[in-house]
């Protein structure tokens, strides 16, 4: 099964789902952009089947741990050694059998067999027998005993790697770990940020509701709107095309609020990526002042510039360089505000990126700490005396968050952690004054941020 998008070969929706999952597994692709490209190539105008493929792909990724455990109860061989495509055929079929009641079981099995035969001639009988056995006996299986092995129980029932479950239990306790894992398996809300350079939230929200959209003001961000069910993707709306809105999680919006740039400031976004936070900083500054957006990937900066054109942002310059490098002499202590939105595990975004939990290993967490520390050390050198430095991640792990800040403060005596934060809701601050949003508490992605101030 080729992974290259092409509209010349017709594929069934379930074949497309399997193909997407194969590439996620084998090439480390993220599901969202990959799925967008496949749906545009194969199902550009088929709304019903676009929704079906999306549901199967994300549902299978979210519940993969449970699905694999269930399949292994019926498969007599080594499931880990099975060909990856065959695994994904079985996973997608099992997901439909367990979680999509409107699809008849016989249709799920027949299509899985057909897909199998197109990829592995002669293996359809195995898939047919295995799935029919699951249908007959799925209600008779016993789950791991909660009282005997609680982490394994959560790992299976709430579909997370056991090592990660053990971390959540250590951080939050057993009850809250269950709530967190359950929240990560929910469909994330569609949240947009109103671009106040072009319109107000009240005006955009009023227009959305007037034209039949389910929309409401976000609870925490004064710039956000949460969108309910809709037949049209947000990117196809006039508000998006006119640059009045940008898709952005509510937690992400709070990061720029924590930076709190003022009109006329000089601001550095050291790990700008494609620029979601950069554009928000510009809106908060009312396009007055200067923002330097730095990233080590030119393609991301090109996307940032294209987005800024749509949003009407004109105070941003870009620079392609490694954020860990020493600043050029003319940029030393040149900025009023610096945002270091560090690359991280992304474990706060598992609702949107469930594939992360299946590819991440504990060793990768350790490797990332050096990168994060280096970026924060570099960010400090760009900041003026009296300036504000915000370090942020979309992770919930102390290794990437609090421990990075404590180590930084021990190395940099000129900096202090500002605990008295007033620019974001107090509900989003922990008892130590760190910004921390949690999916099961706040209904948004998990973010961490710390505000650091450089002494005069």
Q: How do residues 361-382 score in pLDDT, each as one tens digit? A: 999 998 899 999 999 999 999 9
Which CATH code for domain 13-140? Answer: 1.10.940.10
Q: Mean pLDDT, to the nearest integer, of 235-249?
A: 96
Find all residues with CB under 8 Å of 115, minimum gap 6, and list them. 12, 14, 15, 18, 89
> Residue 210: in which H helix or E strand, if any?
helix 201-210
Long-range contacts of 200-204 (CB under 8 A, 24+ apart): 201/225, 204/239, 204/244, 204/245
Which CATH code for domain 190-247? Answer: 3.30.70.1170
What's residue 101's pLDDT?
85
CB 267 within 8 A of CB 281: yes
- Rounded CA separation 227/234 (Å): 9
CB 344 within 8 A of CB 368: yes
What's residue 142's pLDDT?
83
Could you tell me where in the chain the CATH 3.40.50.150 domains are found?
A: 250-454
Could you tell me where in the chain the CATH 3.30.70.1170 domains are found?
A: 190-247
Q: Mean pLDDT, to the nearest integer, of 133-139?
A: 90
Per-residue pLDDT at 6 exceeds 70 = no
- Tell me the pLDDT tens digit for each residue of 63-120: 999 999 999 999 999 999 999 999 999 999 999 999 998 889 999 999 999 999 998 9
- Rounded CA separation 267/338 (Å): 6
Positive or negative, the Cα torsion across 326, 329, 333, 335? negative
CB 267 within 8 A of CB 338: yes
Cα separations in angstroms, 128 against 3, 104, 111: 25, 15, 10
> Residue 416: in which H helix or E strand, if any?
strand 415-417
- Rounded CA separation 165/154 (Å): 7
What's residue 10's pLDDT?
76
Could you tell me where in the chain the CATH 1.10.940.10 domains are found?
A: 13-140
What's residue 337's pLDDT?
98
- Rounded CA separation 277/267 (Å): 12
Q: Which two tokens stand for residue 413?
A: 């005596």
CB 397 within 8 A of CB 342: no
pTM of the model: 0.93
Which CATH code for domain 250-454? Answer: 3.40.50.150
CB 243 within 8 A of CB 311: yes
What's residue 9's pLDDT?
55
> Residue 389: in which H helix or E strand, if any?
strand 383-393
- Rounded CA separation 281/338 (Å): 11
Q: Which two tokens stand for residue 50?
A: 């676009």
Nearest alpha-carbon partner for 56 in 17, 21, 25: 17
- Rounded CA separation 320/294 (Å): 6
Find all residues with CB under 8 Å of 227, minimum gap 6, and list them. 189, 190, 191, 192, 208, 213, 214, 215, 234
* Range in 111-115, 142-146, 277-281, 336-340 the model is least confident about: 142-146
CB 427 within 8 A of CB 220: yes
Cα separations in angstroms, 99 against 94, 158, 171, 351: 8, 14, 30, 17
Residue reference for tokens 């930084």: 408
Report the chain's terminal Cα–Cα distance, integer Å. 61
DSSP codes, 293-317: EEES-HHHHHHHHHHHHHHT--SEE
* Active site residue ranges: 394
- Rounded CA separation 275/282 (Å): 10
User: Residue 393's pLDDT band (boundaries 50, 70, 90)?
Assistant: very high
Per-residue pLDDT at 8 exceeds 50 = no
CB 290 within 8 A of CB 336: no
Rg of the chain's alpha carbons, rounded to an integer? 24
- Rounded CA separation 172/383 (Å): 35
Q: At what angle do helices 13-27 and 47-62 cross, to 10 degrees?
A: 40
Positive or negative, the Cα torsion across 38, 40, 42, 45? positive
Mean per-residue pLDDT of the chain: 94
User: Residue 191's pLDDT band (boundaries 50, 70, 90)?
Assistant: very high
Strands across the sheet with 224-227, in order? 215-217, 224-227, 190-194, 245-247
CB 60 within 8 A of CB 92: yes
- Rounded CA separation 205/244 (Å): 11
């Amino acid at each position: 099964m080729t992974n290259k998008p092409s509209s010349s070969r017709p594929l069934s929706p379930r074949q497309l789902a399997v193909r997407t999952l194969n590439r996620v597994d084998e090439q480390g692709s993220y599901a969202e952009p990959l799925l967008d490209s496949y749906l545009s190539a194969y199902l550009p105008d088929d709304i019903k089947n676009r929704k079906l493929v999306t549901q199967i792909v994300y549902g299978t990724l979210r519940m993969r741990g449970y699905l694999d455990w269930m399949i292994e109860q019926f498969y007599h061989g080594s499931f880990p050694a099975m060909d990856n495509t065959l695994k994904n055929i079985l996973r997608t079929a099992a997901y439909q059998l367990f979680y999509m009641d409107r699809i008849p079981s016989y249709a799920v099995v027949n299509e899985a067999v057909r897909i199998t035969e197109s990829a592995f001639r002669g293996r359809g009988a195995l898939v047919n027998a295995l799935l029919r056995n699951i249908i007959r006996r799925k209600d008779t299986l016993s789950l791991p005993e909660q009282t005997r092995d609680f982490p394994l129980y959560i790992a299976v029932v709430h579909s997370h790697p056991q090592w990660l479950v053990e971390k959540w239990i250590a951080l939050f306790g057993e009850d809250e770990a269950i709530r967190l894992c359950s929240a990560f398996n929910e469909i994330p809300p569609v949240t947009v940020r109103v671009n106040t350079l072009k319109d107000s939230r009240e005006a955009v929200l009023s227009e959305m509701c007037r034209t039949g959209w389910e929309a409401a003001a976000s609870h925490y961000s004064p710039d956000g709107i949460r969108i309910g069910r809709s037949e049209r993707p947000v990117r196809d709306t006039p508000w998006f095309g006119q640059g009045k809105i940008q898709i952005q999680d509510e937690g992400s919006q709070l990061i720029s609020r924590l930076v709190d740039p003022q009109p006329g400031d000089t601001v550095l976004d050291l790990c700008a990526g494609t620029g979601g936070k950069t554009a928000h900083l510009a809106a908060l500054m009312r396009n007055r002042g200067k923002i330097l957006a730095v990233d080590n990937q030119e393609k991301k900066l090109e996307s940032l510039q294209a987005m800024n054109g749509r949003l009407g942002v004109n105070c941003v310059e870009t620079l392609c360089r490694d954020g860990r490098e020493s600043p050029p002499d003319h940029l030393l202590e040149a900025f009023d505000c610096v945002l270091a939105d560090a690359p991280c595990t992304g474990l706060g975004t598992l609702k949107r990126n469930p594939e992360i939990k299946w590819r991440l290993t504990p060793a990768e967490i350790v490797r990332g700490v050096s990168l994060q520390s280096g970026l924060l050390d570099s960010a400090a050198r760009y900041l003026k005396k009296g300036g504000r430095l915000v370090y942020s991640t979309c992770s919930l792990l102390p290794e990437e968050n609090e421990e990075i800040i404590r180590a930084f403060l021990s190395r940099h005596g000129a900096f202090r952690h500002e605990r008295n934060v007033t620019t974001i809701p107090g509900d989003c601050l922990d008892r130590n004054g760190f910004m921390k949003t949690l999916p099961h508490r706040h209904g948004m992605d998990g973010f961490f941020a710390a505000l650091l101030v450089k002494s005069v």
